[in-house]
Amino acid sequence: MPNIKLQYADLTLDRCDQYRTDQYKLQQLWRQQSTRFCVMQNQHTLILSENPNSAQVALLARDTFKELIPKELPSRDLVFLGIAKNGSAFFGLLVDDDSVKQILSINSDYQFIDIRQVGNLLDYTTASLAAYARGIFYWQQQNPFCNRCGSTRQLIHGGHSLKCTNQDCQHLLFPRIEPAVIMLIESQDKDGKPICLLGRSANWPTGTYSTLAGFVEIGESLEDAVRRESYEEAGIRIGEVKYIAAQPWPFPSSIMLGFRAKALTTELKLDPNEIEDAQWFTLEQILQFGTWGDNMHSGYKMPRTDSIARYLIDLWISEQRTEI
């Protein structure tokens, strides 16, 4: 296994589910001096960026912007994220346009941006926390009305549940996650050399190739989703399917489940509605790939360093090298 981590998959907080239903405890944590806030404007997170090559999630202390934080725990626009090993509690807080202006005036290096734009620059732990907050807020904002009776909903359980305000209904809604499978398909060429299948979508940066992926359908096992997507997109029949790792992907509400898939066939039959191209590559070819975003490199390029696709490819590369 290569010594690499998966971005967005390194949340070190204890989520402290037991406090979500304890309003007194939540109030106490909200008022603590050591509490930190991951501040968001819609789907944009407050980031500290001193230059184009650096970015970190700005986790604000109460004193930094105390005039803008409600004194008491608000009943909306927040999520209790959990507690760090040092005892500090973390909340996600949504702010309005007026507050945004005031927060940006605190530090000229602050900006609200989509964390995916800087995902490859963020440290694993705070990127995981910011992705978690973003996913929860997206879910809250997408579900203002009860899907049973149409009444408004209120936030409960520290922002982790939505409850219908109609006393005759009181339906509870919990966050939904849409699973997607992503798979590195491997085989051997006619000389017996290991090869893997990478493809690209038409809207990706020029030259970028990555592993195939697709959403899991209702009533489908993960393994079958790998087999179906591989056949639909590239016409490849799959035998053995092995789970490798998962990457939370709350952009807006998914999780990527990474697999290694052994191809039973190698002849490609591409679905142009799904992918623009796919090809089999040897290790030597992949080692010639440029890095994502390198506009000076005119050939094939790797997917983003913060993606599980890259993780799966790096893992395959390291295994082939070990076997040489």
List residues binding Zn ion (CB under 5 A): 146, 148-149, 151, 164, 166, 169, 171
Query: Strand 36-41 vs strand 89-94: parallel, antiparallel, or unpaired?
Result: parallel
User: Which is nearest to 119 in space by CA: 108, 130, 107, 103?
Assistant: 130
As measured in angstroms, the least distance from the Cβ of 162 to Zn ion is 10
CA 204 to the chain's CA centroid: 18
Kindly provide the residue ranges of all beta strands, DSSP E only, lying in the chain, ordered along the sequence. Answer: 36-41, 44-48, 56-57, 59-61, 78-83, 89-94, 110-113, 153-156, 161-164, 172-173, 178-188, 194-200, 212-215, 238-249, 254-263, 277-282
Neighbours of 1 (CB within 10 A): 8
- Token pair recorded at residue 59: 């986790």
CA distance 48 to 55: 6
CA distance 243 to 42: 34
Query: Bridge-partner residues for 278, per DSSP?
Result: 199
User: Is 95 or 164 the residue whose CB approaches Zn ion more closely?
Assistant: 164
Q: Find out whether the peptide bond into 252 is cis, omega within 30 degrees of 0.
A: yes
Cα dihedral sign, 197-202-207-211? negative
User: Is 151 or 285 the residue whose CB approaches Zn ion more closely?
Assistant: 151
As measured in angstroms, the least distance from the Cβ of 168 to Zn ion is 8
Q: Report yes or no: 153 and 166 within 8 Å, Cβ to Cβ.
A: no
As measured in angstroms, the least distance from the Cβ of 157 to Zn ion is 17
As measured in angstroms, the least distance from the Cβ of 76 to Zn ion is 17
User: Is 147 or 221 the residue whose CB approaches Zn ion more closely?
Assistant: 147
User: Is 20 or 153 the residue whose CB approaches Zn ion more closely?
Assistant: 153
User: Is 144 or 272 the residue whose CB approaches Zn ion more closely?
Assistant: 144
Q: Report yes or no: 148 and 164 within 8 Å, Cβ to Cβ.
A: yes
As measured in angstroms, the least distance from the Cβ of 135 to Zn ion is 23
User: Is 13 or 173 the residue whose CB approaches Zn ion more closely?
Assistant: 173
As measured in angstroms, the least distance from the Cβ of 174 to Zn ion is 15
- Token pair recorded at residue 193: 């050399």
As measured in angstroms, the least distance from the Cβ of 139 to Zn ion is 17
- Token pair recorded at residue 143: 């579900």
User: Is 66 or 148 the residue whose CB approaches Zn ion more closely?
Assistant: 148
As measured in angstroms, the least distance from the Cβ of 147 to Zn ion is 8
User: Is 144 or 219 the residue whose CB approaches Zn ion more closely?
Assistant: 144
